[in-house]
Structure 1
Amino acid sequence: MESFKNKLIRFMAGRYGIDQLYYAGLFLALGLMMINMMVNSTILMIASNGVILMMVLRGFSRNINQRRMENEKFLKLWNPVKKEGRIFFRRIKEIRVHRYRKCPHCKKTLKLPIKRGKHMVKCPECKESFAVRVIV
């Protein structure tokens, strides 16, 4: 008798499976469910169930190229948001040790150690010098 695991492996062969868009959809559905617990709306319940159904159907899909393209479009939108979030939280974490300033010439963000007062800083990207005032 064949085990359930082997049957599942055979069933999922040639199917798309789970990717980043799948996880984002499930987190969206979870968020909608949490909001629905507070406001008790039928529309939110239908929307969250619809998102879950869509993600499950994507996982079982055999059209791998189409699902891959959907995931690439999602990542093209998501990666800049994720990058900005990481930078924001890193700035908060290092607020006692470093300050971040933008170069007025090339707009590159520079990570500077905290030294009170006015300083001359040379941008490593465009090699221009500019004055920076650090207030602690």
Structure 2
Amino acid sequence: MIEKKGMNGMQWISKILFYMKGRYGYDEFSKALLLFGLVLGIFSNFSEGIILTAVGMAAIAYAGLRIVSTEKGNRRKELQQYIRVKQSLFISYRKTRNRWIQRKAFKITKCPNCKRKIRVPRGRKKIRITCPSCQHKFVKKT
């Protein structure tokens, strides 16, 4: 009878699981780094130069390092920083999008006293505006 040399599927998976014990593992930031590296790798095929390829490979390598790292505290701090940056970008995108959608109906103006942004209706010629935070009254053309 001929014996198969090597590992079967279950042995291979159990060895990987044993190796990954105590490691940080795959998280949202690692996923973003892998995606970023792959996208840069694809774009580098259409452009000349090695910079995009190098940055893409570095991102993929760093994602791999994060996945097999045993320093869970540092990886958790990096993940928290990534989430904080991602949320701030999402909030600024949402504000810009809302301002763009409302641009025909409302005008955003600043209070000359406290510099707070105030939304006023368009098409009313000159109006008297009262700032909701400092109660300063001023006249603006909409």
TM-score normalized by the length of structure 1: 0.71
Question: What is the 5 A alignment of 1:91-110?
Answer: 91-110=99-118
Could you say if the C-alpha distance between residues 90 and 46 of structure 1 is closer, same or farther in structure 2, counting changes exceeding 3 Å? same
Gaps of 5+ in 1: none
Larger deviation, residues 103-112 vs 9-18: 9-18
Structure 2 residue aligned with 1:25: 33
Deviation string, structure 1 residues 2-35 (Cα, Å, up to 9, x no partner): 6x99987776565434555435434532442343
Q: Using the TM superposition, give the Cα deviation of residue 91 of structure 1 relative to its aligned residue in structure 2, in angstroms.
A: 1.0
Tell me, in whole angstroms, the C-alpha distance in 1 between the residues paired with 2:18 and 2:139: 65
Q: Say which of 48, 56, 63 aligns to 2:64.
A: 56
Residue among 128, 134, 142 paired with 1:120: 128
Matched-pair identity in %: 26
Change (3 A) 1:68 1:94: same
| Distance in 1, Cα, partners of 2:68 & 2:133 | 47
| Inter-CA distance 24–114: structure 2 relative to 1 (3 Å threshold) | farther
CA–CA distance in 1 between the matches of 2:105 and 2:19?
A: 54
The CA distance in 1 between the partners of 2:126 and 2:25, in whole Å, is 55
Give the gaps of 5 or more residues in structure 2. 1-8
Secondary structure of 2:104's match? coil
AA aligned to 2:53 is M
Measure the CA separation in 1 of the matches of 2:134 and 2:102. Answer: 25
Q: What is the alpha-carbon root mean square deviation over aligned residues?
A: 3.2
Between Structure 1 and Structure 2, whose CA radius of gyration is higher? 2
In structure 2, C-alpha distance between the alignment counterparts of 1:35 and 1:48, rounded to whole Å: 10
* Residue-pair matches, total: 134
